[in-house]
Amino acid sequence: MGRQFRVHQSTIRRVLKTRPEHQKTSSVEQFGTLPPSQTDCQFEPKLLVWWALSAKGRSSVHVHRSKAAVGTDTYLNERIRKRLVPFISKHHHGDSILFWPDLASAHYFKRVQVFLTNQGIKCVKRSQNPPNVPHARPIETIWCLLEQKVYDRGWEAKNLDQLAKRIIWKAKEIDQKVVTNMILRVRGNLLRMYQKGVYSIVSLLM
């Protein structure tokens, strides 16, 4: 899961990459909808947006309404079983997969980890997963692009349904060629960071 934020802020979710040739990204984003003055709820309503992308294609955008963090059953059934596994089977059958999530608890639920292991999907261990590597993960840029499109020209959501439709619509405007180029650079960027330091690739991204 990604951290919660209100409108006009950006964040990242998780990266799923394939070794050695094709990297995949799979992510969850949270979009807030109403400012505090418009809601008396203890937890602000938001949409959790899940999207898997790779150098070979993309999944449909899944939007889930929530006021709290996603539990084990929802995450495992709605994200992993129904969407991630079919996506891998369709676009990357037979590939060696490394699942690189962020540090949200949902990724590391025991049942989720057991299921991934049984499916032959390797996952970066929590102890080996840095809290934030914006320069290396293309999903950072992809979420920023999507957010810019969603809130273009000061657009604001009137309700959750309107926001959900806008997100799905704007996601289609992101060119697959752009996604592919970003993802295929991950391997080289990681090698450059290893050899020359974390910030050695910043200039390449500008």
| Residues facing residue 98 across a β-bridge | 17, 122
How confident is the model at residue 9, as a pLDDT? 32
Q: What is the total count of domains within the chain?
A: 1
How confident is the model at residue 31, as a pLDDT? 61
- The pTM of this model reads 0.73
123/62 Cα distance (integer angstroms): 22
Judge whether 120 lies within some domain: yes
Judge whether 118 lies within some domain: yes
Judge whether 4 lies within some domain: no
Judge whether 5 lies within some domain: no
CATH of the domain at 164: 3.30.420.10
Judge whether 2 lies within some domain: no
Q: What is the mean pLDDT of the chain?
A: 76
Judge whether 19 lies within some domain: yes
89 — pLDDT class (breaks 50, 70, 90): very high
Backbone angles phi, psi at 25, to 5 degrees: -125, 140
Judge whether 77 lies within some domain: yes
Segment 31-51, tens digit of pLDDT = 654 444 444 455 567 888 888
Distance between start and end Cα atoms, the chain: 27
Q: What is the mean pLDDT of residues 83-95?
A: 90
| Residues 63 and 51: beta-carbon distance below 8 Å | no
- Most confident option among 10-24, 36-50, 57-71, 106-120: 106-120
Segment 138-188, tens digit of pLDDT = 777 888 899 999 999 999 988 999 999 999 999 999 999 999 998 888 888
How confident is the model at residue 64, as a pLDDT? 86
22 — pLDDT class (breaks 50, 70, 90): very low
Domain hosting 171: range is 15-205
Residue 12 pLDDT more than 50? no
Residue 3 pLDDT more than 50? no
How confident is the model at residue 29, as a pLDDT? 62
| Residues facing residue 17 across a β-bridge | 98
Q: What is the mean pLDDT of residues 20-27?
A: 48
Judge whether 70 lies within some domain: yes
Q: Is 154 left (phi over 0), alpha (psi -120 to 50) or beta?
A: left
